[in-house]
Structures are given as C-alpha cells and as structure tokens.
Amino acid sequence: MGPLTLRDLAAIGVDRLKGVGEKKCAALKEMGVETVLDLLTTYPRRWVDRTDECRVSDLRAGQEALVLVTVRGVDKRIGRNRRSIVEAVVGDGSGRFHVVFFNQPWREKQLRDGLQVALFGKADVYRGGLQMTNPVVDLIGDRTGRIVPIYPQSEKTGLNTWEIAGWVEDALKRCEPRGIADPVPEAVRARLGLISRQEALHSIHLPETMGEKERARRRLAFDELLRVQTVLVMRKRALERESRGIRHTIDGELVPRLRAALPYQLTSAQERTIAEIEHDLAAPHPMHRLLQGDVGAGKTLVAVSALLTAVQGKHQGALMAPTEVLAEQHATGVRRLLEGVTVPDPGNLFGDRPLRVELLTNRVTGADRRDVLAGLADGSVDIAIGTHALIQEGVQFHSLGMVVVDEQHRFGVEQRAALRAKGDGDLVPDVLVMTATPIPRTAAMTVYGDLDVSVLDELPPGRTPIVTRLAEGELLQQGAWAAVRAEVAAGRQAFVVCPLIEESEKLEVASAQETYERLVHDELQGLRIALLHGKLPSAEKEAVMERFRRGDTDVLVATTVIEVGVDVPNATVMVIVDADRFGIAQLHQLRGRVGRGVHESQCWLLTGQALEGGAVNPRLQALVDSTDGFFLAEVDLDLRGEGTLMNTAQKGRSDLKLASLRRDRELVAHAREVAFEMVDPDPLLEGHPLLLDELRVVFNPEDEEFLFKN
Ligand code: ADP
Ligand code: MG
C-alpha cells in the first residue's frame, strides 16, 4: 500500500484512536471532527514557546501578554452585588502574580493547584503587585517540549487542548509506517522552497521551533490555496472548452460612432481595456472578464463600448445591476452616452435608425413591460438595462450577445446557467463583470479566479484630487456646514449623505427625512435643498436629480442611492453624516461623486463616535490619507480580514484554514501560477491523480459539478 492520501485519512474514524471512546467521539463530532483528516487539519490556534515570550518577570503593567504558569492556589468568594470572584495565584520560576475572574464561578474547579496553564491578558498594577482580570485561559496539561500547541477548545464540548494534542500525536504516529502522500510535484516544491506534506503535518502540530512551525504553515497554506486555484482554473478552462460563443464584429460602425461623439479622449487604460475586451469578443469562445477600476475611472464607457460591439453585429446587449435604483441610474447614464449614436438601418429611407435602449425591472409593468418584452424578443431593443429580472424565465431575447454585470458580488453558477439559456441556440453570450469597487489583486484571484481581469488603473485627466476631512463632534461639524455654505456661495453644489441604516430601508428613509428637516431649518437654512431617497417614485427621483443637475438645487440630501452613477461635475462638496456606519469601500464610492469637475472638491466625514484615548477610527483615517481605491481595498482587507470577501457564495472555499489572502499574498500568486502550469497541458489532471482526488474530497459536488463528472 502506498502513502496515505487525504481520501484515506478521511476514511478513518477518530474512534480508532487511542482514548477516543463514545463520549469523546461525540464531543469531537460537535467540533466538526469525525475523521483522522478532520483531526489532522484541526490546527493549533496558538503555539507557546516555553523558552521566551512567556515569563512572569517579563510582564509589564498595561501590556497584553501571554504567560505560561503553574497554579499555586485558588480561592472563591462572593463580592458585592452577589458577583462571584475567583482569585488565583499563579507563577513560574521567575515570579508570581494574581489572577481574578468575575462571574466565572466554575474557574475554582478548573484551576486546580499544580495545573499548568497559558494565560493571555493585560496585567495591571493592583495593590502594589501585578494582576490580570478575566484573562483567556488555556489548559495545557503536562505536555513537555519546547513549543506547546494550543488547540481550539470550548467549554461546551469539554475537550482540552492536551487531549486533542494527544490524539493528534497518536494519529501522526500511526501514519508513519505508510507515510503521507504529496500531491505537489517535487520540482514545484523545490522551486518554491516548500517542505513535504508529511513533514508539514508533523511540524504544524509538534514543532521543535517556531521557524519549523512557520515552514509547516507555509506549506499547508499553499496546499489550501493550490486546491482553490486548481478548481478555479479548471472551471475557467472547462467553460472555455465546452461552450461556443459568438464571434463578434469588432470592425463595425457603431463603436467608432460612439467614440466620435465623445467630448473627450479615452484614457490609455480605457483604450487598453477596450482592446482586451474586443480581442475576447472576436474569439470563438465566450468572454468571462472582470473589469476593475477605481471610482470615476470611466468603466461605464468601456461597458457601453462592449455592448455596442455586440449591437453592431446584429446582436443585443444587456446591462445587469444589483438593484432597481442602480438599474434606473445606469439607464439614464447610458442613454445620455448614446444620445445621437444611430444604428445603420437598410430598411430606412434615411439609412439610420435611433438606437433603442430599454429599462426592465420589476417596476416596469403593464403595457410598458409588454412593449419591452416584445422588443427584446423581436430584436428591436438593442440594449436592455435592468436587474436580475433580465435573465429570469419568461424573458426572451432575439439574440443576446453581450452581458455586462455590474456588481460586487459573485456572478454565480446559477446565473451563468440562466444566461446560457438566454443565448442564441447553443451560443453563450459574452460576459463582463464590473466591480463597483476595486478589490485587492490576490483576493480577486481567489474570489474571481475563473475570470480574466482587466484593470482601469488611470483616472481621466483634469480631475482635482478630493481633500477629505474628518469631523468628530459638534464643533468640528460646524466646519463642514460652513464649507457647504462657502461652496454654494461660490456657485457650486453639495451632497449630504444620510446615515446608513442597514437593517431597514424604512428607518433609513425616516432618518434622511429628519436630516433634511434639520438642515433646512438649521445648519443650511436659506439654501435650496432637495431630498432624494429610494422610496420616491421613479418620476420624482428623476425630477429631483434633473433639477440638481441643472443647478436649480444647491444641496442634495440623499441616502446611498447616489452611491453609483450620479454625475454632477459642479458638485464640489460632500458631507457624509455618521460616516462610521459605512465601510471603506462604500465611503470611497460615495466620495467619488465629487471631484468630477475642474474645481477642487472636498469630502467631510462626520462622526459622533468617540474612541478610547482620542483614537481615530482606522477606516475613516484611511479615507483621509488616500484617494487610491486599490490601496484602500488593501487596507480594507487588512482591517476586516477576508471573511467578508469570502462570504456565502464561497462555501466550497471555506477550506482556507491556515492560508490568509491578506498575509499570504505571494503564496496566492504562486498557487495560481502552479495551477495553470498543471491544468493547461493536462486539463483533466490525468497526470496528477492525487491532486484531482483530493479536490473531490475537499469540495462538494453541488459547487463544483464539473469535478465530479465521470
Ligand atoms: P466609474 O463607473 O468607473 O466610476 P464613470 O464611467 O461613471 O466612472 O465615469 C466617470 C466620469 O468620467 C463620467 O462623467 C464620464 O463621462 C467621465 N469620463 C469617462 N471617461 C473619460 C475620459 N476618457 N476623459 C474624460 N472624462 C471621462
Ligand atoms: Mg459608473
């Protein structure tokens, strides 16, 4: 029998291990651990190095620290308000100190005399000595060795870190005779300086030094990333192989007409991106491309150019937005861009007919809807703009050739299937996904790893950078309103963005109403102010926007409906109320509504949030420090972690236990490179049966259908 594969390890129940009886088995199951594979990939959440970092004599008042100590005595009493207080004396060879637990009466039983524990917390001076209050406690038992692994343990399952460590050790020992198989080719390992999987699994659990642990982590993180990238790359290639696309006409008349009608020159980034897209469109397989660009980089024009490429070859284009409001705004923007662009029409005496752009959302009803649907079906609608309603059942296109999806979230497998069904026979439309906000490169490789990527990394010329200021508290906020008045006096206009209330649109509208009333009667009394929110009827929204665009209104008080698509170059100041309620990406997106003209613009971030010690909210500070969306995306990833990026849609990818899109940027890139190297000459991975097999073990059939075919 050869070395053990992940499939082999996944076939051995933990009950086979020494000391795992029925009760322990149930407790492990509660932690999600049923097989030896589960156990071996339950990695320590911390490693304590006995020889440094953890001596009592090194503790400093006011600093968080980890110490490894022995319990020297425990005492319980009832304090005021009948709160239980457990007090313990702990120490090592270098000194002793006190630990206090409030409202944790069970600590008395847990912390027996002589027990070794790792404590993590902040020591403070109390009655002349040091004391830690409610530290994190890890029981480490009687383990020897320099580095002590600390496993996730919970009161609920009652499993201790040393029990888990013991089972892991037993499991590793039993794997030794056969050894553990390695799916990564020797040459790749040598090139990237990766240790073997067997060594890595051993060292992550039982390292002799921290360096050894780090090398193990790097190898195992690489494996996680390689699995993800291999699936993405295989899916990408399978899609290219299996679907037939349209060979679009890229030397038609419409795109040149659009360009001739523009009052400006394209940026070189736009030129490059349009060329990349046209190259894909002319090819026989369907395009799957992500368009990333900072706010204001001019993505709309690139998208419209792609749609027109389809139209000039007698196909139709569709633009899909995540919400109705955004769809409506896109419709307005695209219509304006295409004003005056006509389509050659041999059936017409004058040779041309107007381009037909129609909106389709659930708000389009009755005769209007029937009219749009009929136009889509007979091909008289050239470009359809709408929500996901566009690809729902019952919507028939005459010949859908190009779809632009404008959203941050993943364009999922189901949508893709729905799209295919809209295509012309078995021809699959080309797809361009636009992200409203940039995401970091490594994250894009993972979240959008089956797409090609174009980046608009250049802003159109003539923009003056936006100056962003943070105003905390009443007094400074007066500065913001004064700035609005000053700009209006100088003939400019202002946006006021109302607090985001995620839980309820109704509350959000109410709060916008309130902000509006307050400004009208107080801070901005005398100015021409209008209110815009998502609950207004479309016609009224359009009227409000139109008045603001014409300059008949000075100040537009709005909810986040203005996040995308609103383009008023004369607006030079934006005030965002309760800015701390928004995320970095959203603030950056909002801020992009100003700074679109030649005048210097400013953005004020108001916050009532007072942080301890005068600290500044790091998200808001990042906005003050930089206007570069790609930089801000990196900061966002650092601050929030990848959890938010990898949400629900990435179920299959929750395999990332050790790898971090944040810390392991370089490793992500390597993994992608290796995945291409393996898949390109061997699309079905016949030469890498081990890797293929473990993809099937790790990913589930619903998510990765193609992996499980034959
Ligand atoms: P994005 O969607 O990338 O945030 P938009 O497509 O809304 O940006 O474009 C922002 C603004 O820049 C619009 O007013 C658009 O007309 C203008 N614009 C686009 N491309 C150029 C260019 N090459 N030169 C000057 N202005 C441009
Ligand atoms: Mg846009």
- Statement to judge: residues 332 and 394 lie in one domain: yes
The mean-pLDDT minimum among 211-220, 332-341, 642-651 falls in 642-651
Report the CATH number at residue 20.
1.10.150
| Higher per-residue pLDDT: 256 or 567 | 256
Within-domain flag for 93: yes
Within-domain flag for 664: no
CA atoms of 289 and 76, how far apart (whole Å): 64
* Residue of 258, 270, 301, 463 best suited for mutating to test ligand 1, as the one with most atoms within 8 Å of CB: 301
Within-domain flag for 368: yes
- Statement to judge: residues 219 and 156 lie in one domain: no
Q: Half-sphere exposure (CA, 13 Å, Cβ side) for 456?
A: 30
Confidence of residue 699 (pLDDT cuts 50, 70, 90): confident
Task: Determine the pLDDT at residue 613.
Answer: 66
Residue 51 above 70 pLDDT?
no
- Statement to judge: residues 399 and 541 lie in one domain: no
Task: Determine the pLDDT at residue 106.
Answer: 87
Report the CATH number at residue 449.
3.40.50.300
* Residue of 464, 567, 586, 594 best suited for mutating to test ligand 1, as the one with most atoms within 8 Å of CB: 567
Within-domain flag for 243: no
Beta carbons of 55 and 94 less than 8 angstroms apart:
yes
Distance, CA 542 to ligand 2 centroid (Å)? 17
pLDDT, tens only, 419-475: 777 776 678 899 999 987 788 877 888 877 888 889 998 988 877 789 999 998 888
Task: Determine the pLDDT at residue 652.
Answer: 41
Confidence of residue 46 (pLDDT cuts 50, 70, 90): confident
- Statement to judge: residues 333 and 292 lie in one domain: yes
Query: What is the DSSP secondary-structure string of 429-460?
Result: PEEEEEPSS---HHHHHHHTTTSEEEEE--PP
E runs forming strands in 179-337: 244-245, 288-293, 316-320
Name the token pair of 58.
Answer: 């090194």
Residue 643 above 60 pLDDT?
no
Q: Of 18, 42, 43, which is closest to residue 174 (Cα–Cα)?
A: 18
Distance, CA 68 to ligand 2 centroid (Å)? 55
Confidence of residue 642 (pLDDT cuts 50, 70, 90): low
The mean-pLDDT minimum among 212-216, 263-267, 409-413, 640-644 falls in 409-413
Tell the residue nearest (CA) to atom 24 of ligand 1.
Answer: 460
- Statement to judge: residues 541 and 612 lie in one domain: yes
Final residue in a domain of this structure, among 456, 490, 523: 456
Tell the residue nearest (CA) to atom 17 of ligand 1.
Answer: 298
Name the token pair of 632.
Answer: 């801000």
Q: Give the nearest ligand 1 atom to 462 CA.
A: 25
Q: What is the pTM of this model?
A: 0.74
Q: Of 461, 356, 443, 450, which is closest to residue 669 (Cα–Cα)?
A: 443
- Statement to judge: residues 10 and 85 lie in one domain: no
Nearest ligand, measured from the Cα of 305: 1
Distance, CA 602 to ligand 1 centroid (Å)? 19
- Statement to judge: residues 232 and 276 lie in one domain: no
Distance, CA 435 to ligand 2 centroid (Å)? 10
Residue 7 above 50 pLDDT?
yes
Distance, CA 398 to ligand 1 centroid (Å)? 31
- Statement to judge: residues 617 and 493 lie in one domain: yes
Beta carbons of 640 and 618 less than 8 angstroms apart:
no
Task: Determine the pLDDT at residue 653.
Answer: 44
Within-domain flag for 660: no
Confidence of residue 651 (pLDDT cuts 50, 70, 90): very low
- Statement to judge: residues 200 and 168 lie in one domain: no
Residue 667 above 50 pLDDT?
yes
- Statement to judge: residues 337 and 426 lie in one domain: yes
pLDDT, tens only, 379-393: 999 999 998 888 888
Task: Determine the pLDDT at residue 648.
Answer: 36
Confidence of residue 22 (pLDDT cuts 50, 70, 90): very high
Beta carbons of 372 and 384 less than 8 angstroms apart:
yes
Mean pLDDT of the region 86-111: 91
* 312-339 residues labelled b (16+ CB within 10 A) or e (exposed): bbebbbbbbbbbbbbbbbbbbbbeebbe
Tell the residue nearest (CA) to atom 14 of ligand 1.
Answer: 567
Task: Determine the pLDDT at residue 710.
Answer: 52
Distance, CA 270 to ligand 1 centroid (Å)? 10
Residue recorded with tokens 């790898």: 659
Residues 6+ apart with CB under 8 A from 1: 178
- Statement to judge: residues 324 and 437 lie in one domain: yes
Tell the residue nearest (CA) to atom 2 of ligand 1.
Answer: 299
- List pocket residues of ligand 1, CB cut-off 6 Å: 264-267, 270, 293, 295-301, 460, 567, 592, 596
Nearest ligand, measured from the Cα of 596: 1
Distance, CA 12 to ligand 2 centroid (Å)? 53
Task: Tell me how far CA of residue 636 lies from CA of 552, 591, 621, 632, 642, in angstroms.
Answer: 38, 16, 12, 6, 9
The pLDDT mean for the chain works out to 88
Task: Determine the pLDDT at residue 561.
Answer: 74
Sign of the alpha-carbon dihedral angle for 533, 633, 334, 398: negative
Final residue in a domain of this structure, among 603, 626, 649: 626
Nearest ligand, measured from the Cα of 297: 1
pLDDT, tens only, 113-171: 888 888 888 889 888 889 999 988 877 766 666 788 888 876 677 788 888 999 999 99
Residue 644 above 70 pLDDT?
no
Residue 647 above 50 pLDDT?
no
Tell the residue nearest (CA) to atom 20 of ligand 1.
Answer: 298
Distance, CA 385 to ligand 2 centroid (Å)? 14
Final residue in a domain of this structure, among 405, 427, 456: 456
Within-domain flag for 227: yes
Beta carbons of 273 and 454 less than 8 angstroms apart:
yes
Q: Of 326, 520, 495, which is closest to residue 406 (Cα–Cα)?
A: 326
- Statement to judge: residues 433 and 558 lie in one domain: no
* Residue of 270, 292, 300, 336 best suited for mutating to test ligand 1, as the one with most atoms within 8 Å of CB: 300
Within-domain flag for 649: no
Q: Domain tally for the chain? A: 5
Which residue range(s) make up the domain with 94? 58-140
Nearest ligand, measured from the Cα of 298: 1
Task: Determine the pLDDT at residue 565.
Answer: 59
Mean pLDDT of the region 521-533: 94
Tell the residue nearest (CA) to atom 19 of ligand 1.
Answer: 298
Within-domain flag for 561: yes
